[in-house]
Chains A and B, each alone.
Chain A
Amino acid sequence: MGRPCGAHDPGRQRDRDCTTIQADPQPGTAEPKRPRASGLAAPTPGTDARTPPRRPREIALNTSDATGSLLAEGDSFFHVPTIAEFFPDAILFEGTWFEFNRVQLVRLIILVVVLVGMSVIASRSKLVPGRIQSIVEILIEFVNTSIIANTLGLREGKRFAPMLVTMFFFIFAMNLGGVIPGLNLAGTSVIGMPLLLALWTFVTYLFFGIKKHGLGGYLKHETMPPGVPKPIYALLIPIELLQVVLIRWASLTIRLLANMVAGHIMMVVFIGMTQALLFSGSALIALAPFSGALAIGIYGFEIFVAALQAFIFTMLTAVYIQMATADEH
C-alpha cells in the first residue's frame, strides 16, 4: 500500500480504489470498510487482498464515507434509499415477462379503486350532489375550465375532454399512491406507466394532426412556422421534427417519472433520517424534531406535486393536441 493513485500497479483495479484515507502506512492495519446497511449487489472482490472492495455504483451515490464523518454515526440505522427501491422483489411469476411485484400491486389496487369508485359515483349521481360527488365534479370542472378551455377551447376541446379527464384522474390517483400510507409507492414511479401515457399523447396528437392536415401538411404545419427567414428553416426543421417525434413524449415521460422518483427518495431520506437521529443515542437526538418537521413538510409537498404533475401532464397533452390541430394562419 502506499503508492499514489494512478501509479503503475497491476494490483489496482480502478483509481477509485486507492482514494480511501490511508493515514497509516502499515498495510495490515488499514481500517477495514464498515459493512453497509444496504447490502445490494455483492462488492466485486478486489484482486489485491489489501484493496478495499469496489463499491457498487448505487451505494457510491451516498457520499458519506465510513471514515469519521459526522453523519456516519447514524450509519448503522440509516438505510440510504437507492434506485432499487423501485424494483422490489417479485410476488408472482418471477422470471417471466409477467413478473408481478409491489409496484404492479399498487397500480392494480389504485386502478380498481378508481374504476369502482368512479362507477359508483357516476351511477348514483344526483342533481343536488352529495359530498363525494361534488369533489369529483369540482375536479372535472377544474380540468374543463383551466385545462381545456384555456388551450383547446371548449368547442374544439369537447372531443378530447373524455381523454383528458381520464388522464388527469388516472395520473392523479397513481401519483397519490406515493403518499398513501401502506401503498408508499406511486404507480407512476416506474417508467412503464409514464411511458404508456406519454405514448398515448403522442399517438393522439399525431393521429388528429394527420387527420386534419394530411401527412405532408401536418409536417409542414408543425415544422415550418410562418414568418421565419428562409435560411433559418435549415436549422429549424430538424429541431422541430425531432421535437415532434421524440422530445415531446420523452420529456413527458421523464418529467412525470423523475418527479415521482425524486419525491419518493426525498421522503424516504427525511423519514429515515428522523428515525436514525431519534435512535442515535447521542446529542443528535435534539435534531430529530427538525428533521421530522421537514419530513412532514415534504409529505405535504408531495401531495401538492402529485396534483401538479397530473395537471401539467394533462395540460401539455392538451397543448400538443392544440398545436397539431390548430388552423393555418
Chain B
Amino acid sequence: MDTTLLAALDGNIATVGYGLAAIGPGIGIGIIVGKTAEAMARQPELRGQLQTTMFIGIAFTEILTLLAIVTGFIF
C-alpha cells in the first residue's frame, strides 16, 4: 500500500531544548536584577556590593542556559 507523506519536520530537537532551557534562568535573572534594583533604590550607598552580589547570582543562574548551548552542540 502506498502512502503519501504530506508534511514533515526536519532538524534537531536541540533548538527547542535551548528555548526550554532559557525559560527558567530568564525568570531567575529577572528576579535577581529586579530585587537588586529594589535594594539599590533603598540603599544607594551599598550599590557596589549589591552589584557584585547580583553578578555572582547571575553567573550561577546563567550557567544553566549556557549548558543548554553546549549540549546542543555535543549531542
Main secondary structure of the interface of A (DSSP, over half): helix
CA distance A178 to B51 in the complex (A): 26
Check A22/B63 contact, CB under 8 A, given A57-B12, A61-B15, A315-B55: no
Q: Which residue of B lies closest to A17 (CB)?
A: B10
Chain A interface size range: 35 or more
**Nearest B-chain residue to A262, judged by Cβ:** B69
Near B by CB (< 8 A), chain A positions 18-33 give 18-23, 25
> In the complex the two chains form, what is the Cα distance from A145 to B49 in whole Å?
10
| Chain B residues with CB under 8 A of A62 | 11
Chain B 31-75 interface 0/1 with A at a Cβ cutoff of 8 Å (1 = within): 000000000000000001101100110111011001101101100
Contact with B along A251-266 (1 / 0, CB 8 A): 1001101110110000
A252 shortest CB reach to chain B, Å: 9
Q: Is B6's beta carbon under 8 Å from chain A?
A: yes
Which residues of A sit under 8 angstroms from B70, Cβ to Cβ?
254, 257-258
Within A65-103, which residues are at the interface with B (CB < 8 Å)?
65, 83
**List of A residues within 8 angstroms of B14 by Cβ:** 61
Whether A232 sits at the interface, judged by CB under 8 Å, is no
Residues in B with CB closer than 8 Å to A2 are 2-4
A19, chain B: closest CB distance, angstroms: 4
Whether B48 contacts A251 by the Cβ 8 Å rule is: no
Given contacts A65-B10, A150-B48, A315-B56, contact A258 B4 (CB under 8 A): no
**In the complex, which residues of chain A have a beta carbon less than 8 angstroms from the beta carbon of B67?**
254, 258
Q: Which residues of A contact B2 (CB under 8 A)?
A: 2, 25
Is A319 at the interface (CB under 8 A from chain B)?
Answer: yes
CB neighbours of A16 from chain B (8 A): 10
Residues of B within 8 A of A (CB): 2-12, 14-15, 48-49, 51-52, 55-56, 58-60, 62-63, 66-67, 69-70, 72-73
